[in-house]
Amino acid sequence: MKKTGILNHEICEVIAKMGHTDGLAIADCGLPIPDGVKRIDLALVKDIPRFLDTLKAVLLELEVEEVLVAEETVKVSPHVFEDIKREVGNIKITLISHERLKEELKNCKAVIRTGEQTPYANIILKSGVVF
């Protein structure tokens, strides 16, 4: 049995298979996930698990070189954007439209769906390399 880190086997498997610049999304419970993209559904009830808790856990395991965030997040849910900035630290943040973010989901290895019910609490993490 795994002792530390992410215990969810689907998330562990996706992260282990990721290469440089591959995408992994973390989403609120309302974000439409395109057909054909792996859905890792963690949503249990309203706000469980939270977007931020899920982001923190994934950042412990995944080397990230860039994140994509919707411009609407900054305008509509600025506290979420501030949380993202705090958690990603010096990682490059690229702001794109929410519509483009939804298009970019098609290129992600997976989308982790949380129970979050805050508007625009979504992010795409672009994998970096550890060397």
CA 84-31-61 angle, to 5 degrees, is 45
Is 121 annotated to bind ligand? yes
Per the prediction, the chain carries an average pLDDT of 97
Q: Residue 97 — pLDDT band, cuts 50, 70, 90?
A: very high
Domains of the chain as residue ranges with CATH: 21-127 (3.40.1650.10)
Q: Residue 2 — pLDDT band, cuts 50, 70, 90?
A: confident
Q: Residue 90 — pLDDT band, cuts 50, 70, 90?
A: very high
Is 98 annotated to bind ligand? yes
Is 122 annotated to bind ligand? yes
Q: Is 79 annotated as catalytic? A: no
Residue 14 has pLDDT above 90, yes or no: yes
CA 88-82-87 angle, to 5 degrees, is 20
Q: Residue 1 — pLDDT band, cuts 50, 70, 90?
A: confident
Q: Please say whether the dihedral angle defined by the alpha carbons of residues 75, 44, 33 and 55, taken in this order, is positive or negative.
A: positive
Instruction: Indicate which residue of 9, 20, 100, 106 is catalytic.
Output: 20
Span 31-84, pLDDT tens digits:
999 999 999 999 999 999 999 999 999 999 999 999 999 999 999 999 999 999
Is 79 annotated to bind ligand? no
